[in-house]
Amino acid sequence: MDQLACSGETPWHRASAIAKLLLAAAMVAVAVSSRSLSLLALLYALAGTLALTARLPLRLVAAAAGYPLVFSSLFVIASWDGTWQTPARLLLRPLTACMVAVWLVGTTPYPDLFAPISRVLPRGAADGLFLTYRALFELTTRAERLWRAMRLRGGTQGGTRRRLTLAGEGLGTLVLSGFERGQRQYAAMLLRGHSGRVCGCRHWAEWAREDVAVAAMGVAVALAVFLAWGRP
């Protein structure tokens, strides 16, 4: 994700982080607070337009579109009142939020995302989120390599008991690896003069010419709210 954010060449990638954060926050806030199905559909279309025009991989966009369905299905079933509008409304909210989040993360380097947060949260909490976000993707890559190695060495063959044992050993390896990596990283930070704030960059708030495109999308969101807020 961070590679996509740093190597992209679309206007969304060149726009400032503060403009994109404001647009994303506004779209998510409207999606969460609105009960208008028409407005939610318009917001989802705008969020999909953002993700597609940012030239993000279609597989990533499809995952963002399908990820909320897995976790929202039980809540949707429990809240069904016999109409199709209620399930559609309950699904469009997380779908829109996930699509906006993918666009934001896919076009903004993660230091620029966490720098504003570090101005609001305590230093320890903000730095913890910053490091956890980075470590998550590295642990995911390591888990993929471990799973591939287990498959090549026949770790997925045999009885259920053997496979569960190997899966537990692999999970333990990942936990120990993550702990050891955290210790090494913290020691390296101390040696390099860690001052108590990891994410202290300021260029996230520097406005750019491409912010005009973000502002135009903000106008489109405001127009959608004006036209469809009171409609069913």
Tokens matching residue 104: 């934001």
For residues 204 and 142, the model is more confident at 142
Q: Report which of 5, 162, 32 is spatially closest to residue 170, judged by C-alpha positions.
A: 162
Condensed to tens digits (0 to 9), the pLDDT of residues 6-15 reads 788 888 988 8
Cβ neighbors of 139 (< 8 A, separation 6 or more) are 174, 177, 178
The three-point CA angle 223-117-115 to 5° equals: 100
The 3-class SS string of the chain reads CHHHHHHCCCHHHHCCHHHHHHHHHHHHHHHHHCCCHHHHHHHHHHHHHHHHHCCCCHHHHHHHHHHHHHHHHHHHHHCCCCCCHHHHHHHHHHHHHHHHHHHHHHHCCHHHHHHHHHHHCCHHHHHHHHHHHHHHHHHHHHHHHHHHHHHHCCCCCCCHHHHHHHHHHHHHHHHHHHHHHHHHHHHHHHHCCCCCCCCCCCHHHCCCCCHHHHHHHHHHHHHHHHHHCCCC
Rounded average pLDDT over 82-101: 85
Q: How confident is the prediction for the chain on average, in pLDDT? A: 79
Of 203, 1, 194, which is closest to residue 104 (Cα–Cα)? Answer: 1
Q: Give the C-alpha distances (Å, rounded to integers) separating 65 from 94, 95, 99, 105.
A: 9, 6, 7, 15
Structure confidence by residue, pLDDT tens digits, 169-203: 777 887 777 777 767 776 776 676 666 555 555 56
Residue 140: pLDDT above 70? yes
pLDDT higher than threshold 80 for residue 34: yes
Q: Tell me which of 92 and 126 has the higher pLDDT.
A: 92
- For the whole model, what pTM was predicted? 0.70
**What mean pLDDT do residues 100-125 have?**
78
Instruction: Give residue 166's pLDDT band: very low, low, confident or very high (50, 70, 90).
Output: confident
Residue 43 has a pLDDT of: 92
Gap between the Cα atoms of 188 and 183, Å rounded: 9
pLDDT at 189: 66
pLDDT of amino acid 199: 55
pLDDT recorded at residue 67: 72
Tokens, residue 60? 């990533």
* Segment 39-66 mean pLDDT: 86
In this predicted structure, which of 94-98, 123-127, 167-171, 174-178 has the lowest mean pLDDT? Answer: 123-127
